[in-house]
Amino acid sequence: MGTPCNRTLAVLGVTQAVIRQARRGRRPLILRSGQAGPGRSDPVERPQTDFDVLADHLGGRVSYPGAGTAPVAAVESRLRLSVSQAVRAMRARAPVYVSLSERVGIPLALLRPPAPHVMVAHLLTSSQKRLVADRTGFLRRTDVTLVFSRAQERYLREEMGLGEHQAQFVWDKVDHRFFAPAEPPAEEGYVLSVGREQRDYQTLIEALRPLRIPSVIVPGSTWSHRGLSPLSVPDHIEVREGLSYRELRDLYQGARVVAVPVQPDTRYAAGVNGVLEAMSCARPVVASDTPGLSGYVEDGRNGRQVAAGEPAEMRAAIEELWEDRHGAERLARASRDTVVGGRTIDHFVDRVAGLVETLV
């Protein structure tokens, strides 16, 4: 029969299990950010999305951004915060919330959700967000904040005083099944550079100018709201925009070198999508050495890192990889191994889902 103490513990254990099961009866809410509407990713036409994969993994549902009333929309546009989406999330009464951007995570934290809240954040060190954090304490209202750069993690722990559990670094991710190597690899090729956020294309252009190597710049981004001045390029550099995901993947696969120039002292993971997509396609990468990209490229092991804002260093690294086919392919293979070993969308989802399981 057991002692009264053991029976009491057993009852408590059953009660806690029932509570957990009741919570799980409701579906976790995954709050995505961005402007695109709902719709499943086509594995042939575009990469998988983290919110779809995470929702499938957790048995959850996805909340999409949407326009609120005119006054709210004006505030959202000015502050770049998805206030109306956060309000809808509160009404949903989910057992756990996962915000995949601080754009919706900040207003949700300020509304004090009635259940655990995991926020994935990209840039928390801007002057505006620092001010909001100081005045409202929203970071301490979030159970776990995940960031994609070590510099952001240090800010949260050293300056904001968050503990190891509440502020955690996680590798950014890529769909390695979509961004896969070409067979066989490119023979002639070109230098490719992709993206907009904090890009330093002037440094890249100056690096490429005397080399006369065929090059392609795609200065676009699905996520960035930042403008970019028109690029003045020499004849051997082509600027392309408005590409589909398949066209972008084809460009990666055909590149002989992928360059990711980022503005000096950038303290968040700007450029990480270009780095990971190129690495996933097994292309050798030359990336600026910034605090935000620290650890994503290990110089000489799975790519090349050069001092940010230094055209001569970027030129030397690009020229070296262009001329040394054997060395470039060695780095390319290592870069693909790095992605498959820990930086895929599956790794990211497993990490987030594991945290969620500890909170519900």
Tens-digit pLDDT string for the chain (360 aa):
455 444 434 434 433 443 344 444 589 999 998 654 445 556 678 999 999 999 999 999 999 987 666 666 667 777 788 999 999 999 999 999 999 999 999 999 999 999 999 999 999 999 999 999 999 999 999 999 999 999 999 999 999 999 999 999 999 999 999 999 998 766 789 999 999 999 999 999 999 999 999 999 999 865 545 556 678 899 999 999 999 999 999 999 999 999 999 999 999 999 999 999 999 999 999 999 999 999 999 999 999 999 999 999 999 999 999 999 999 999 999 999 999 999 999 999 999 999 999 998
Q: Which two tokens stand for residue 225?
A: 């709201």
What pLDDT is stored for residue 222 in this prediction?
53
Place of tokens 């840039």: 123
For the chain, which residues make up each domain, given as ranges?
24-173+344-359, 191-342
Q: Note the residue count of the chain.
A: 360
Q: Establish whether domains 24-173+344-359 and 191-342 are of one fold.
A: yes
Pairing label, strands 191-194, 117-121? unpaired
Cis peptide preceding 184, ω within 30 of 0: yes
For the chain, helix (H) and strand (E) counts, in that order, are 13, 12
How many C-beta atoms lie closer than 10 Å to residue 57's C-beta?
16
Encoded tokens for 261 = 């120039």
pTM over 0.85? The answer is yes
| Confidence (pLDDT) at 79 | 73
d(CA 202, CA 208): 10
Contact 119, 143 (CB under 8 A): no
Q: Is the dihedral of CA 44, 42, 31, 243 positive or negative?
A: positive
Contact 297, 304 (CB under 8 A): yes
Domain 24-173+344-359 fold: Rossmann fold (3.40.50)
Q: Give, in order, the Cα–Cα distances in Å from 4 to each of 1, 8, 227.
A: 9, 6, 69
Contacts of 285 (CB under 8 A, 6+ apart): 257, 258, 259, 260, 275, 278, 279, 297, 302, 303, 304, 331, 335
CATH topology of domain 191-342: Rossmann fold (3.40.50)
Token pair listed for 112: 């004090």
Quote the strand ranges of 219-272, DSSP E: 237-239, 257-260
